[in-house]
Amino acid sequence: MWHHFLALPLVARVFALSVAGLLALWGAIKAKAIHAAAKKLADKATEWFWGWLRARILPRTAGSNSGERTYKGTFQEYRYTSVPRPTHLFSVVHEGVATTVPVVDTALFTPIKPGTLIEVDTEALSGYEAELVKRVRALKGPGIASDDAALRTAQDVEAEIREMTPQEREIIGCLLHRNQRVFTNTIDGGYATTLISKGIVVSAARPGQAFRRNDYPFEIPRPVWDILMRHKASFPYSDETDYQPWRVPWMLR
């Protein structure tokens, strides 16, 4: 083939090389344009897909703080798993789609029965895969109203006082003795977990607030606190040390 090309006159060879070069340049430009168009189309498709997924499937909305999330759906379960790593999970089904969320261990799901329509408010913690459950609301079904709304009347609080365990009484007695309505604890609630599930103790963290995992803020809602103060005699406490009965000692974890 090359000997035929070399046998051509010089002008013909230059013309042929020029044509070949132009064809190669045109092919490269066309291939680049096709690649750019394909990439743009793929980006548009990806953007549309995730937008559709967020709007149609995921039962999640973000609050004013980017770390705040709300999940809505029919409660399925709350469980612990060690695979692929130790964590706690809750699951809801919304419009036929199941969503499972890793969360910090909490007692707020304890009163919720499977089949209850719920809304769960969480906050994503910087540096942690698991989210912090801040509130659980039962919208329909055999559940509870919410962690901080479960106790609305003096009769409710007084009934809880009569049913408190010795450990719960020690925690409340310590707080009343120190006149300490707000306190810090490990993020899982420690020994105050049952008081959290009853609505006597609730989260005191504000959106976007920074905190250490071992110093998460909790509080006793003021209406509940006022009732507990009236029953202070039911919670004798005399320890004057810095002992915090709501914390689980590290060697027992």
My answer on whether 179 and 108 are in the same domain is no
Is there a single domain that holds both residue 158 and residue 180? yes
Q: Say if strands 97-103 and 216-219 run parallel, antiparallel, or are unpaired.
A: unpaired
Q: Are residues 135 and 164 in the same domain?
A: no
Q: Are residues 219 and 172 in the same domain?
A: yes
- 221, pLDDT greater than 90: no
- pLDDT attached to residue 147: 43
pLDDT tens per residue, range 162-206: 999 999 999 999 999 999 999 999 988 899 989 988 888 988 877
Residue 149 lies in a domain: no
Q: What is the pLDDT of residue 33?
A: 59
> Is 147 among the domain residues?
no
- Confirm whether 231 is domain-assigned: yes
Do 165 and 212 lie in one domain? The reply is yes
Q: Do 38 and 66 fall into the same domain?
A: no
**Is residue 33 assigned to a domain?**
yes
Tens-digit pLDDT profile for residues 79-113: 888 877 888 899 998 888 889 999 988 878 877 88
> Residue 248: what pLDDT?
92
97-103 and 117-124: which strand pairing? unpaired
- Residue 99: CATH number of its domain: 2.40.50.140
| Six token digits for residue 23 | 């064809």
Q: Worst-scoring range by mean pLDDT, 25-29, 58-62, 96-100?
A: 58-62
pLDDT at 165: 94
Per-residue tokens: 19: 């044509």
Which pLDDT belongs to residue 145? 43
Mark whether 51 and 69 lie in a shared domain: no
> Which among 91, 106, 140 is the end of a domain?
140
Across the beta sheet with 182-185, the strand order is 182-185, 216-219, 202-203
Question: Tell me, what's the pLDDT at 170?
Answer: 95
Residue 41 lies in a domain: yes
* Structure tokens belonging to residue 209: 């607030």
Amino acid at 206: R
Find the angle CA(66)-CA(206)-CA(53) to the nearest 5 degrees: 25
DSSP secondary structure string for all residues of 96-145? TEEEEEEE---STTTTPPTT-EEEEEEEEPTT-SSEEEEEEEEEESSS-S
Question: Domain containing 17: what range?
Answer: 2-56
pLDDT of residue 39: 67
Give yes or no for residue 153 having a pLDDT over 70: no
> Does the pLDDT of residue 6 top 80, yes or no?
no
- Tell me the average pLDDT across 35-52: 63
Token pair in block for residue 247: 């914390």
In a domain, residue 88? The reply is yes
Are 19 and 84 part of one and the same domain?
no
Q: What percent of the chain has pLDDT over 90?
A: 23
Average pLDDT, the chain: 77
Q: Please tell me whether residues 233 and 167 are part of one structural domain.
A: yes
How many domains does one find in the chain? 3
- Asked if 192 and 221 sit in the same domain, the reply is yes
The verdict on 75 and 133 lying in the same domain is yes
For residue 85, the 8-state DSSP code is S
The length of the chain in residues reads 253
Tokens matching residue 34:
């096709």
Is 19's pLDDT higher than 70?
Answer: no
Q: End-to-end CA distance of the chain: give it in Å, rounded.
A: 82
Min mean pLDDT across 16-20, 156-160, 201-205, 228-232 is at 16-20
